[in-house]
Amino acid sequence: MNKELLGILVIFGSTVLLAVPLGRYLATVYRGDKSWSDFLGPLERLLYRLGGVRPEREMSWQQHLVALLTINLVWFVWAMFVLCTQGSLPLNPDHNPSMTPDQAFNTAVSFLVNCNLQHYSGESGATYFSQVFCLMFLQFVTAATGLAACVVVFNALRDRTTEKLGNFYVYFTRSITRVLLPLSLVVALVVAFQGTPMTWLGKAPLVTMQGDSTFVSRGPAAAMIGIKQIGTNGGGFFGVNSAHPLENPTYLTNAVENGAIVLVPIAMALAFGYYLGRPRLGWMVFGVMTAGYLLLQVPTVYLEMHGNPAITHLGVDQRLGSLEGKEMRLGAPASALWAITTTVTSNGSVNAMHDSLTPLSGMDALLGMMTNAFYGGVGVGFLNFFVFIIVSVFISGLMVGRTPEFLGKKIEAREMKIAIVIALLHPLLILAGTALAAHLYVGNPTAYAGWLANPGYHGFSEMLYEFTSSAANNGSGFEGLGDNTPWWNISTGVVMILSRYLPIIGPVAIAGLLARKKYIPESAGTLRTDTGTFGIMVFFVIWIIAALAFFPALALGPLAEHFTLYAK
């Protein structure tokens, strides 16, 4: 068998194998049951005392959201302050300047919402202080925010009637101390031992093999890479992310970093089942997510391994696959694996340039973000999936002539309205944003010529990708887009805020409303949700909504490019 294919199978397979025990562990931690990590209890209690948090105080869903939004606002102010003044702050050995306000806004928002869209390059656009104390700090706390919101939903779906859904700060703190810190420490250690720098020193002088002398950027990178991957953040230390040899030095680091992207999202899907004591349900969610993931992953690997016909026409040997924009040391299949893994989750780190993917692979990456529920971001991936479950339960209810219910709670008009609004928000933000950008560009192509490196279908894909990536809180870039302008900074910033908080507020509200309802034990008439039939239903609902919303846009971008390219 092809060694490269074997490599990616091992990466994905071992990730799933690790996710199963992790899922059990997450359920234990969030239920508050005994676990090996209880030795961290005193530390957590100290943090609660310092923060004035009473861990035994249970919150309603509204109080959870207030707590979540308040601490997020505080972080935003901190991030704006650091990014706008970083040039004068300490730990800036390379003397990088402060950010302009619109870029600081975009960056602050982007890291605050766990998106990590980067309209700057880490080497020249940020200082060590802002990388560590602003950006990496946000990578931990925003991932924990997503996990905590997800646990609120888990808690609300237990079989009882209640207003009390646990303490937000407890979920949040435990996410950091017991999940994110240990896991990212492991990843950081692996990459550090493989050669990623972890230093406060400035650029290192280097004489190249040709005898030129140059400088190589470095810094406290290894620490950030761990949480970048584990927390589905994706914002790299260096501008080209994990395609940079210091950020992703070897095949081993590539495997670890790639696995780290989906580890927690997969574990969270399984944790859902373990938490509720219905493991089958967790496996149903995992099954649907995996089916959706493979549907995108398999063709992408195939296409990237078979090269680009335009280059074949030039008489170039493409037996190693389409290598434009890829790292030779990683190869086409591993790059394809990463491209889809990073887009289905809301990670957004890259180890190859997505701009250079073949058109249909680019479309698969786009679809990963358009569906945004196959694994998804830490915590928030499940929240998106939960919205689709609600919609599916609802349509199924119509199909079997019965008021729909999920886990013993009736789904009624109010929950459905919220779910539909959240499901609609995603296509609305993507399509409206892209339409505005397209309209501006068409209105004055010369003024906005700097936007698009490739006008035509590919340019359209670039704009579509930028908004899709923002709306999916993914943060990967198609690049090739001149995106550090006020228009892109502000428009994508607004899209990121809306598409982060509304899809958290919506599912938490639905779950909170459901938690208040009377628990109706399952009867023979109940539509079971932990079955293959229901899984297929959810699968189709996700795809039909994505297809109906995005087919015309995809036809004008990647599909037009693909058929034009392959028609030759």
CB of 452 to another protein, least distance (A): 10
In this structure, the strands spanning 409-410 and 213-216 are unpaired
CB 58 within 8 A of CB 67: no
Q: What share of the chain is helix, strand, coil (3-state, %, to 5)?
A: 65, 5, 30
- How far apart (Å, rounded) are the C-alpha atoms in residues 550 and 103? 29
- How far apart (Å, rounded) are the C-alpha atoms in residues 143 and 500? 12
Terminal-residue alpha carbon distance, the chain: 31
CB of 513 to another protein, least distance (A): 12
Per DSSP, 409 falls in state E
Tokens at 417, concatenated: 């309205």
Among 261, 360, 527, 538, contact with another protein (rule: CB under 8 A)? 527
Q: Which stretch binds another protein (CB under 8 A): 68-76, 283-291, 306-314, 544-552?
A: 544-552
> 207 has which bridge partners?
213
CB of 309 to another protein, least distance (A): 13
Tell me if 45 contacts another protein by CB under 8 A.
no
Amino acid at position 59, single letter: M
CB of 427 to another protein, least distance (A): 6
Query: Which residue matches tokens 């095949």?
Result: 251
Tell me if 313 contacts another protein by CB under 8 A.
no
Tell me if 478 contacts another protein by CB under 8 A.
no
Among 423, 504, 508, 510, contact with another protein (rule: CB under 8 A)? 423
Amino acid at position 302, single letter: Y
CB of 387 to another protein, least distance (A): 12
> 94 has which bridge partners?
none
Tell me the C-alpha to C-alpha distance, in Å, between residue 237 and each of 91, 120, 207. 15, 11, 23
Q: Which stretch binds another protein (CB under 8 A): 151-159, 209-217, 260-268, 535-543?
A: 535-543
Q: Which stretch binds another protein (CB under 8 A): 86-94, 101-109, 310-318, 533-541?
A: 533-541
Among 219, 427, 477, 558, contact with another protein (rule: CB under 8 A)? 427
Tell me if 534 contacts another protein by CB under 8 A.
yes
Residues in the chain: 568
- How far apart (Å, rounded) are the C-alpha atoms in residues 165 and 515? 9
Torsion of CA 537, 539, 541, 544, to 10 degrees: -130
Tell me if 370 contacts another protein by CB under 8 A.
no
Pick between residue 95 and residue 313 the one whose CB is nearest to another protein: 313
Closest-CA residue to 8 (of 247, 245, 293, 269): 293
Tell me if 531 contacts another protein by CB under 8 A.
yes
- How far apart (Å, rounded) are the C-alpha atoms in residues 218 and 237? 9
Q: Which stretch binds another protein (CB under 8 A): 12-20, 244-252, 303-311, 555-563?
A: 555-563
Residues 6+ apart with CB under 8 A from 166: 58, 59, 151, 152, 155
SS3 481: strand
Pick between residue 203 and residue 517 the one whose CB is nearest to another protein: 517
| Interface characters, 431-470, with another protein (x: CB under 8 A) | xx-xxx-xx-xx--------------x--x----------
Pick between residue 3 and residue 518 the one whose CB is nearest to another protein: 518
Q: Which stretch binds another protein (CB under 8 A): 51-59, 138-146, 299-307, 402-410?
A: 402-410
Pick between residue 40 and residue 545 the one whose CB is nearest to another protein: 545
Among 413, 444, 446, 521, contact with another protein (rule: CB under 8 A)? 413
* DSSP of 460-514: HHHHHHHHHHHHTT------SB---SHHHHHHHHHHHHHHHHHHHHHHHHHHHHH
> 481 has which bridge partners?
452
CB 192 within 8 A of CB 225: no
Alpha-carbon dihedral sign for residues 426, 369, 502, 416: positive
Pick between residue 159 and residue 412 the one whose CB is nearest to another protein: 412
Among 23, 381, 404, 408, contact with another protein (rule: CB under 8 A)? 404
Tell me if 264 contacts another protein by CB under 8 A.
no
Q: Which stretch binds another protein (CB under 8 A): 89-97, 117-125, 285-293, 520-528?
A: 520-528
Pick between residue 186 and residue 536 the one whose CB is nearest to another protein: 536
- How far apart (Å, rounded) are the C-alpha atoms in residues 81 and 10? 44
Tell me if 498 contacts another protein by CB under 8 A.
no
Q: Which stretch binds another protein (CB under 8 A): 56-64, 75-83, 393-401, 470-478?
A: 393-401
Q: What angle do CA 122, 127, 130 make, to 5 degrees?
A: 95
Among 201, 206, 216, 544, contact with another protein (rule: CB under 8 A)? 544
Tell me if 420 contacts another protein by CB under 8 A.
yes
Pick between residue 68 and residue 360 the one whose CB is nearest to another protein: 360
Residues 6+ apart with CB under 8 A from 289: 266, 269, 373, 374, 375, 376, 385
CB of 548 to another protein, least distance (A): 6
Maximum C-alpha span of the chain? 78
**E-assigned strand segments in 291-432:** 405-406, 409-410
Size of the site for another protein (CB under 8 A): 61
CB of 447 to another protein, least distance (A): 15
CB of 371 to another protein, least distance (A): 14
Tell me the C-alpha to C-alpha distance, in Å, between residue 485 and each of 120, 464, 475, 490. 11, 17, 17, 8
Tell me if 295 contacts another protein by CB under 8 A.
no
Pick between residue 435 and residue 453 the one whose CB is nearest to another protein: 435
Q: 194 exposed, middle or buried (CB, 10 Å; 0-12, 13-18, 19+)? A: middle
Residues that bind another protein (CB under 8 A): 394-404, 410, 412-413, 416-417, 420, 423-424, 427-428, 431-432, 434-436, 438-439, 441-442, 457, 460, 517-518, 523-528, 531, 533-534, 536-537, 540, 544-545, 547-549, 551-553, 555-556, 559-560, 563-564, 567
